[in-house]
Amino acid sequence: MTDSAFHTVWLPLQERFYRVAFYMLENEADARDALQDLYLKLWGLRDHLELIRQPSAYGAMLMRNLCIDRIRKRQPSAELEDTMAEKAPPDQELILRESVAGLYDAIQKLPPGQRKLLTLRFIRGLSYEEIEKETGLSGLNIRVQVSLARKKLKQLYENPR
């Protein structure tokens, strides 16, 4: 595929690909990075792109897969589990792994908004002001939602159903 054909076919689709990335990653900077990664990947595949019948669908599928990879890399459970397992005596490793798994399951049962705020606050370590800038929510609303999420998380962890 020539440069001009690439520009004519693929570049007009960038808004659609960005929307897919933003929907999945929920962050403008991450979505822009994913879009850049997508176009680097497409540019590397440019010799084979002439065979693609529906560039919009193909690009959206690639973007979806790139976003899934990014989300998986963000998941802290494996790192947390490994860190806790290294510091624990061998006889308690199983108990710690079950605790981490139970906590992860409880986090997954939280409503998406509360799960996101907990992740921003306690996993990524952002301050309330930073979360306010990233989400657009008011500081008071963030504090209330984090408090509710912590209470619900404690309830879900202590009483799994």
pLDDT digits (tens, 9 = 90+) for 16-52: 999 999 888 888 889 999 999 999 999 988 888 888 8
CA-to-CA distance for 102 and 108, rounded, in angstroms?
10
Compare 124 and 152 and report the one with higher pLDDT.
152
At residue 87, the pLDDT reads 59
Structural domains present in the chain: 3-74 (1.10.1740), 77-158 (1.10.10.10)
Give the distance, in angstroms, between the CA of residue 118 and the centroid of all CA atoms in the same chain: 13
In this structure, which amino acid lies at residue 148? L
> In terms of Cα–Cα distance, which of 112, 109, 97 is closest to 153?
109
pLDDT digits (tens, 9 = 90+) for 87-103: 556 667 777 777 777 77
At residue 102, the pLDDT reads 77
Phi-psi region of 59 (alpha: psi -120 to 50; beta: other; left: phi over 0): alpha
> In terms of Cα–Cα distance, which of 89, 107, 96 is closest to 153?
107
Average pLDDT over residues 121-150: 88
